[in-house]
Amino acid sequence: MVLASDTSRDLVAAPGDLPGMVSYQIDDEIHHLYDFLSLDIVTGMILVKDGAVVFESYQRGNTADTRWMSMSEAKSITLTLVGAAIMDGHIGGLDDPVADHVLALAGSAYDRVSIRGIPLMASGVEWNETYTDATSNRRNLLLAQIKQRPRAAMAVMAALPRAHAPGTHHTYSTGETQVLGEVIHGAVGRPLSRYLA
């Protein structure tokens, strides 16, 4: 849960004609924004520019009041917080080693990985994201999260072997977002929710 900041404010609506501005061509066929939303199974999209909502659309029975699991949105917010931590001087830059900020990963396959490699999911650390595999790394991380034991998620990540040299191979990994969150936590010295607020 992210508590509201004392300086929070509502986003104002400033609708623009995004649907009229967006089109793309595949082979000989022209597609538009709503084609993209439909074909790519986008269930919600909001575009904020200069603090104002310029476009908002919901699909598949969802509305502005629908409660969402954050999932990939958390990846975007976490990466935004990395930028904030760099600007605030908590992180030296994207080339900082991950283990400098996450002591639990010292001596692990993350030892030679820079922060830059984490949002790119190019750490080189082995990962199996298969949701239907009861023995996958994603399932092991989920079980650690459910137990809610301190440092359990990083214990899962620290136990993973190296599969590739850092920066040479992309592997989609939910665990990388957990690592990035811990980088921020270690750098700023407080939970992400407090830093975000």
**pLDDT tens digits along 175-190:** 999 999 999 999 999 9
User: 93 lies in a domain?
Assistant: yes
Answer yes or no: do 36 and 88 share one domain: no
Tell me: do 130 and 52 sit in the same domain.
no
Domain range for 41 is 12-58
> Does residue 63 lie in a domain region?
no
For residues 127 and 186, state if they share a domain.
yes
For the chain, how many structural domains are there in total? 2
Same domain? 52 vs 92: no
Answer yes or no: do 78 and 50 share one domain. Answer: no
Mean of pLDDT over the chain: 90
Is residue 4 assigned to a domain?
no
Q: Is 96 inside any structural domain?
A: yes
Q: Please tell me the distance from the alpha carbon of residue 18 to that of residue 168, in angstroms, as a whole number.
A: 37
What pLDDT was estimated at residue 3? Answer: 65
Q: What average pLDDT score do residues 110-134 get?
A: 94
175 and 122 fall within a common domain = yes
Lowest mean pLDDT segment, chosen from 15-19, 24-28, 91-95, 131-135: 15-19
pLDDT value at residue 15: 85
43 with 113, same domain? no
Q: Answer with the residue of higher pLDDT: 42 or 92.
A: 92
Residue 176 and residue 91 share a domain: yes
Quote the pLDDT of residue 18: 83
Are residues 169 and 111 part of one domain? Answer: yes
Give the C-alpha separation, 110 to 121, whole Å.
12
Write the pLDDT tens digit of every residue in 70-116.
767 888 899 999 999 999 999 999 999 999 999 999 999 999 899 99
One domain, residues 19 and 49? yes
Q: Are residues 33 and 77 in the same domain?
A: no
pLDDT, position 9 = 74
Give the pLDDT band of residue 1 (cuts 50, 70, 90): low
> Is 129 exposed, middle or buried, given 0-12, 13-18 or 19+ CB atoms closer than 10 A?
middle
Residue 67 lies in a domain: no
Neighbours of 100 (CB within 10 A): 16
Q: Helix H segments across the chain?
A: 18-21, 33-39, 72-87, 98-101, 137-147, 152-158, 174-188, 192-196
d(CA 74, CA 59): 20
Say yes or no: 86 and 134 in one domain.
yes
- Kindly state whether residue 5 falls inside one of the protein's structural domains: no
Can you read off the two tokens belonging to residue 7?
A: 């300086």
Residue 187 lies in a domain: yes
